[in-house]
Amino acid sequence: MAKFIARRCILLLLTMLLVSMAVFMITEASPGNVARNILGAFVTPEQEASFLAQLGLDKPVWLRYVWWLTGSDWQAQKQIGIPLKRIVTEKGFVEWWAVKKDGTLVRWKLIGDDLMAISRKPDGTFSRAVDNDRWKTDPQGVSVFRGVDTDNHVVKWEKGKDRKVWTFIMGSGWKETSGGPVEYIPLKKGFIRGDPGISLRTGRPVAKSLFIRLRNSLVLAGTAFVIVMPLALLLGLMAGLKEGSLRDRIFSVGGMMFSVIPEFATGIFLILIMAVWLQWVPGATVFGEQAPWERPDMLILPVLTLTLIELGYVLRITRASMVEVMRSPYIRTAYLKGLPYRRIVATHAVRNALMAPITVIMLHVNWLMGGIVIVEVVFGYPGLGKYLLDSALYKDINALEAGAMILVMVAVGTQLIADIVYTFLNPRIRYG
């Protein structure tokens, strides 16, 4: 079993690598312009170029993928020749600083032709001083300096070039400043070191936003899973035990009806009846700063929609598996031996009939995490699926990659759980 789990972990890492490469290439090849998606159609070419350079989107695709995966600080540190340090402030903001030989943290800002060093003391206070001694002359005779700016980039300044920089501030619009660098390297630690980057769409760290959305989806998917899976298995087993009976017909037709109706139609139908006509529950999920479990009344309609959708599919799979098992020779042999009906069903039939449904259930765990986009959009639910949909529309590669990695881990992890469950349902299955 240990070797089997180790192989699955290796498979997980390989799958994550391949999926991350595929997502990166597909996003890059998809139509649309990141700057115009985020900033609007009336952005000027100069503003667009400045925006892309600050985010590192003007770099080659392969280099941006390497930075996303392994980080860019190692390359930036080589260029400036000073160690870099990433800190998190008391307010939760991420800041990158250069570390001087005496341990002082420092960043720079160009004001006119003067380099201004901003030092951060251990007590959290700051000091400013002119630091023009750091200018160096390159082979072309131009005075240049590479260092960390105040916006978490390693930049290259050229003395005497008064470059205009346009910074887009969410809610405020464009801010034009002078003293812009000629090169940018946005600093990040990389996904394999726990830093999926900054969302291009919101400007917030992906990890924080993704954690909240993942939590919300776990609440929604977990609640629906706990309700629908035992109910679907029970109804499917009951239908399969009496093939062709009235009970079987009712369960089968009802399950087929709910499984073929589109999610958005089911959701809108429930909103119309339960929220508009009867006014029993809210028709939308507006949590604000609250967690989903603080407003359970808002979970009723999304959970009910998922329950109706999943119930029919799992019910029919379980019913078909139970019918096949009840026709098996060993079941007939058990009847001929005179074993009680309940014992035949409980001991021999149910365990084998659950093999196929377990596989389907574990596959649907992954769907419940990321594939419930329509349900989340219909009810305005702030979950992982809606987050990935919005990110895809804006070509927000950092958010898309991080979400895809979560879904890969869920998919491989649930299949590992299914394989382990098989060993309890069928003692003949063993993994070496």
Cβ contact 109:153 at 8 Å: no
What does the pLDDT read at residue 178?
65
Give the whole-angstrom CA distance, residue 367 versus residue 221: 9
The reply to whether 148 and 273 lie within a common domain is no
The reply to whether 212 and 175 lie within a common domain is no
Residue where a domain terminates, one of 139, 158, 188? 188
Residue where a domain terminates, one of 131, 154, 188? 188
The reply to whether 147 and 267 lie within a common domain is no
The reply to whether 302 and 398 lie within a common domain is yes
The reply to whether 353 and 236 lie within a common domain is yes
Nearest to 188 by CA among 59, 305, 301, 102: 59
Arithmetic mean of pLDDT, 340-363: 78
Nearest to 354 by CA among 345, 343, 342: 345
Indicate if the pLDDT at residue 430 is higher than 60. Answer: no
Give the whole-angstrom CA distance, residue 351 versus residue 429: 13
Nearest to 396 by CA among 9, 18, 23: 23
How many Cα atoms sit within 13 Å of 136 on the Cβ side? 8
The reply to whether 172 and 235 lie within a common domain is no
Cβ contact 312:254 at 8 Å: yes
Q: What CATH number is associated with residue 274?
A: 1.10.3720.10
What does the pLDDT read at residue 426?
63
The reply to whether 155 and 275 lie within a common domain is no
The reply to whether 300 and 402 lie within a common domain is yes
Is residue 198 situated within a structural domain? Answer: no
SS3 category, 97 = strand
Residue where a domain terminates, one of 138, 154, 188? 188
Cβ contact 417:322 at 8 Å: no
Hey, which residues does 174 pair with through a beta bridge? 168
Between helices 300-326 and 263-270, what is the axis angle to 10°?
Answer: 130
Domain total of the chain: 2
The 10s digit of each residue's pLDDT in 233-256 is: 888 888 888 888 888 888 888 888
Is residue 51 situated within a structural domain? Answer: no
Q: Which of 271-285, 305-319, 384-398, 414-428 has the lowest mean pLDDT?
A: 414-428
Is residue 383 situated within a structural domain? Answer: yes
Domain extent for 103: 67-188
What does the pLDDT read at residue 67?
93
pLDDT confidence tier of residue 402, bands split at 50, 70 and 90: very high
Residue scoring higher pLDDT (163 or 353): 353
The reply to whether 106 and 238 lie within a common domain is no
The reply to whether 242 and 140 lie within a common domain is no
SS3 category, 407 = helix
The reply to whether 162 and 230 lie within a common domain is no
Q: Which two tokens stand for residue 32?
A: 């649309």
The reply to whether 181 and 210 lie within a common domain is no
Is residue 233 situated within a structural domain? Answer: yes
Is residue 71 situated within a structural domain? Answer: yes
Is residue 196 situated within a structural domain? Answer: no
Name, in order, each residue with C-beta under 8 angstroms of 290's C-beta and a sequence gap of 6 or more: none
Q: Which helix (H) or strand (E) holds 146?
A: strand 143-148
